[in-house]
């Protein structure tokens, strides 16, 4: 059973007098416990697809079933609630509040989930340790490198313990080493927490670490490759 199931998605944008059909009847199924990657040329609609699958943007037509729930059936408040409960995001930008320490950035969404302070601190510390920032919990964004900031952003998404984790070009703003750290984290999250990780990227290293790569072009999925991962042998049994 797929964690994320979309069928017949349509989405177009009006750009002046022009209408751009970005998604044309796209269907996709994404399994839990894997790192699934979408790649494709610029402008082919990858980010648009991700925003529809993750509950950020309503499709013109078609349906998304996320964790067995018809995602776009309810109103926006219902979709907000679904995201609060179940989804995490990692964007290309880090989008951290300059006023907050790493720990506070991670705790912030947990507070809105109704968690107690003690619980939020525990979870946030654990998430920061998981991304290798256990010793930087008091640092503000101004004191962190780009890679460290992205790891805080990942920790912010992970601390929610989401079943669904979406990432749009998470490594494109990072150098090779930081990119590798982020890739490892995403992979580990998928395999160890049984999280559905859906990632959009051009990064060839990410491609080689994914469990499955979907090739997208012109608003449809063209090819679907199940990968035999080169790293993380202990979890390779999960794939295929």
Ligand X SMILES: Nc1ncnc2c1ncn2[C@@H]1O[C@H](COP(=O)(O)OP(=O)(O)OP(=O)(O)O)[C@@H](O)[C@H]1O
Residues of the shown chain interacting with ligand X in the complex, contacts defined by CB under 6 A: 13, 15, 20, 22, 42-48
* Minimum separation from the CB atom of position 167 to ligand X (A): 13
User: Using CA atoms, how far apart are residues 153 and 94, in angstroms rounded to an integer?
Assistant: 6
* Minimum separation from the CB atom of position 85 to Mg ion (A): 26
- Whether residue 25 contacts residue 10, with contact meaning beta carbons closer than 8 Å, is answered with yes
User: Using CA atoms, how far apart are residues 72 and 109, in angstroms rounded to an integer?
Assistant: 22
Identify what 15 binds: Mg ion, another protein, ligand X, none; CB under 5 to 8 Å per kind: ligand X
Establish if 47 lies at the interface with Mg ion (CB under 5 A): yes
Which residue's beta carbon is nearest to the bound Mg ion?
A: 47
Identify what 20 binds: Mg ion, ligand X, another protein, none; CB under 5 to 8 Å per kind: ligand X
Tokens of 220: 């449809």
Residues 6+ positions from 122 with CB-CB distance below 8 Å: none
Secondary structure (3-state) at 26: strand
Using CB under 8 A, list all residues that contact another protein: 47-48, 50-51, 54, 56-57, 77, 80-85, 87-89, 91-93, 95-100, 104, 107-113, 115-117, 120, 153, 156-157, 160, 168
* Minimum separation from the CB atom of position 168 to Mg ion (A): 6
Stretch that binds Mg ion, among 47-55, 116-124, 136-144, 150-158 (CB under 5 A): 47-55
Q: Strands 164-168 and 87-90, how do they pair?
A: parallel
User: Using CA atoms, how far apart are residues 135 and 22, in angstroms rounded to an integer?
Assistant: 44
User: Using CA atoms, how far apart are residues 189 and 142, in angstroms rounded to an integer?
Assistant: 27
Identify what 97 binds: another protein, ligand X, Mg ion, none; CB under 5 to 8 Å per kind: another protein
Toward ligand X, which CB reaches closer, 46 or 209? 46
Among the listed residues 237, 173, 199, the one whose alpha carbon sits nearest the alpha carbon of residue 47? 199
* Minimum separation from the CB atom of position 169 to Mg ion (A): 6
- Whether residue 86 contacts residue 162, with contact meaning beta carbons closer than 8 Å, is answered with yes
* Minimum separation from the CB atom of position 5 to ligand X (A): 20
* Contacts with Mg ion, residue ranges (CB under 5 A): 47
């Amino acid at each position: 059973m797929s964690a994320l199931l979309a069928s017949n998605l349509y989405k177009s944008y009006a750009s002046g007098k022009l209408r751009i059909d970005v998604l044309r009847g796209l269907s996709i199924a994404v399994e839990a416990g894997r790192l699934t990657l979408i790649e494709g040329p610029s402008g082919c609609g990858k980010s648009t697809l991700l925003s529809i699958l993750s509950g950020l943007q309503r499709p013109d037509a078609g349906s998304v079933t996320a964790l067995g729930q018809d995602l776009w059936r309810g109103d926006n408040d219902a979709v907000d609630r679904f995201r609060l409960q179940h989804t995490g995001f990692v964007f290309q930008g880090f989008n951290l509040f300059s006023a907050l320490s790493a720990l506070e950035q991670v705790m912030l969404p947990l507070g809105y989930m109704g968690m107690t302070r003690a619980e939020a601190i525990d979870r946030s510390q654990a998430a920061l340790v998981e991304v290798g920032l256990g010793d930087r919990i008091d640092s503000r964004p101004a004191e962190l490198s780009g890679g460290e900031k992205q790891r805080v952003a990942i920790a912010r998404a992970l601390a929610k313990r989401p079943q669904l984790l979406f990432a749009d070009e998470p490594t494109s703003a990072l150098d090779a080493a930081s990119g590798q750290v982020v890739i490892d984290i995403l992979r580990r999250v998928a395999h160890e927490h049984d999280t559905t990780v859906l990632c959009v990227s051009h990064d060839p290293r990410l491609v080689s670490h994914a469990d499955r790569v979907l090739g997208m072009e012109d608003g449809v999925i063209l090819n679907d490759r199940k990968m035999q991962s080169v790293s993380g042998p202990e979890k390779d049994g999960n794939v295929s």
